Amino acid sequence: MMTWSEILSLIWIYVAIGDAYQPEFAEPIVNLSVAVGRDATFRCLVHHLGGYRVGWVKADTKAIQAIHEHVITHNPRVGVSHTDHSTWNLHIKGVQEEDRGHYMCQINTDPMKSQMGYLDVWVPPDIINEESSGDIMAPEGGTVIMVCKARGYPRSHITWKREDGTDIIIKDANSMVPKSKVGVFSGETMKLYKVSRSEMGTYLCIASNGVPPSVSKRITLNVHFHPVIHVPNQLVGAPIETDVTLECYVEAYPKSINYWVRDLGEMVISSERYEVESISRSIFDFKMRLTIRRITKHDLGSYKCIAKNSLGEVESSIRLYEIPGSSRKKDQTAKYEDNLTSEDTDGPGEEDLLTPEEDYTEPYEGSKNKIKTTHEVSKTINQIPHSGHPGVSPTRRTGQSQLTTLKTVKPAAPNVGSRVMTGINETCRVYSFVLLPLWLITLVAGYLCGDSCNLVNFECGTTNVQFLPDLSSQLCKSTYLGSGNLVELVFVLRNRAKVHHIMSRNPRPKLWDS
């Protein structure tokens, strides 16, 4: 029979053994971050579970998810599993935003033992169309406000780009000068002040928050303005029986109706000899092209290109003229020069004209002055003899430009028997690929005019008439006083240096050539 001391010893041993094998958590629960729609699994590792049980509870709602091997919640996406009664798992399939929160793993000891893990549910961005801008139409010079809002978790970040990759122009509300040009603009709201037609196009609102995929919305900005026409060549020449093309450039939005008419209002439509084209260069920029094949005398004259939209109408004219044929080979510039002389209706009559020399011979009355071919203006000036001209001094000056060809042709001698051109109106044209300096033209003018002329004034300006495609032109007019009569020299700086002249025995009271 055991004594009381032996019984107390056994009780102490049982209590000590029981305390030594109490359940305990082997490691903390790992927090989870899962994109919506993915699966999540919490793991709770327990040592010495013995006869105790493990339960799962959603802490914020106190809703029991499972006890031991049995699922308690009615959520069909929740499940449990275990391995060797030590690893206990809570499975959540197809995670939704409402699943976000703390989850507790409990052991039903006394007192209860528990630990928690957090489930963070990420939501990719989604643009809220109801709160975002749609396509916008604004007048040129107006203000445009674009708004883009998106939902998502974490909060979405909004950026703007142009679909074509060009910069976004940021201006102040009270200034037309761009404040900056950026490839990317950040923020839910983007304001464009004093918009121009160049800002027309598609803008992309891009929402991202680190959760793929990022999403975007296309917003098209249409800037409406009345039509504008640009004509690069208002004067076009071609020989008869050749093809010629007339071109106008139109900018307009909404898109304009573009068409051609003749000078009497007859509309030009495509046919065997006429080809009418409209070539799109951008959403608001178009090229109007009219090709006339085997032109005849009837085709010569004015053509109008007309553009019309809901905001207005505009037109511009192109004059088609004939370049006469020649038995000798001439370039297009030479042909135009001959045509310019023959078609001058304001000049003297055909019976009053002296025959000009197309190429330089020798100066009349024994003069030995001649401007020679050179590549430098300064070298050219050094080769001009003084000859005692009272109005011009051949001071040595440095040339301001390089000339590919400079060939000045002096007019044939007038029938006056001397170098003094009394009662003669003379018009000279100098053609060159580059613009001649003012001082060189002054020297040439004085040289051609001779001793009878004193320089009265000199003025130089530009003209809008373009005699040949893709070449600029400049018109310089000099007025001289010679022996009591006005002598006018007009220098049209153009292709290959060459002088043509027109002389009249009977001077007119006005300067008829321009």
Write down the pTM of the prediction. Answer: 0.55
pLDDT for res 217: 97
Beta bridge partner(s), residue 304: 261, 317
**Distance spanning both ends of the chain, measured CA to CA:** 148
Q: Superfamily assignment of 128-225 in CATH?
A: Immunoglobulins (2.60.40.10)
CB 420 within 8 A of CB 412: no
CB 338 within 8 A of CB 251: no
pLDDT for res 427: 38
pLDDT for res 264: 87
In the chain, % helix, strand, coil (3-state, to 5) comes to 10, 40, 45
Distant-in-sequence, close-in-space partners of 329: CB < 8 Å, separation ≥ 6: none
H-assigned helices in 343-437: 377-382
Per-residue pLDDT 10s for the chain (514 aa) are: 556 565 556 555 544 445 557 899 999 999 999 999 999 999 999 999 989 999 999 999 999 999 999 999 999 999 999 998 899 999 999 999 999 999 999 999 999 999 999 999 999 999 999 999 999 999 999 999 999 999 999 999 999 999 999 999 999 888 767 778 999 999 999 999 999 999 999 999 999 999 999 999 999 999 999 999 999 999 999 999 999 999 999 999 999 999 999 988 899 999 999 999 999 999 999 999 999 999 999 999 999 999 999 999 999 999 999 998 743 333 443 333 444 333 443 433 333 333 333 333 333 333 333 333 222 233 333 333 333 333 333 333 333 222 222 333 333 333 332 222 333 333 344 333 344 555 565 555 555 544 433 333 333 333 333 333 333 333 333 333 333 333 333 443 333 333 333 333 333 333 333 3
Distant-in-sequence, close-in-space partners of 255: CB < 8 Å, separation ≥ 6: 284, 286, 309
Q: Would the CA dihedral through 179, 185, 187, 188 be positive or negative?
A: positive
Task: Kindly report the CATH number that applies to the domain delimited by 231-322.
Answer: 2.60.40.10
- C-alpha span between 91 and 71 (Å, rounded): 11
* Closest-CA residue to 346 (of 479, 484, 509): 509
CATH 2.60.40.10 in the chain: give the residue spans: 22-123, 128-225, 231-322
Label residues 204-239 b or e (16+ Cβ within 10 Å = b). ebbbbbebeebebbebebebbbbbbbebebebbbbe
CB 384 within 8 A of CB 447: yes
Beta bridge partner(s), residue 102: 118
Q: Would the CA dihedral through 180, 182, 185, 186 be positive or negative?
A: negative
Q: 């900018």: which residue's tokens?
A: 251
Distant-in-sequence, close-in-space partners of 509: CB < 8 Å, separation ≥ 6: none
22-123 to CATH, choices 3.40.630.30, 1.25.40.10, 3.40.50.150, 2.60.40.10: 2.60.40.10
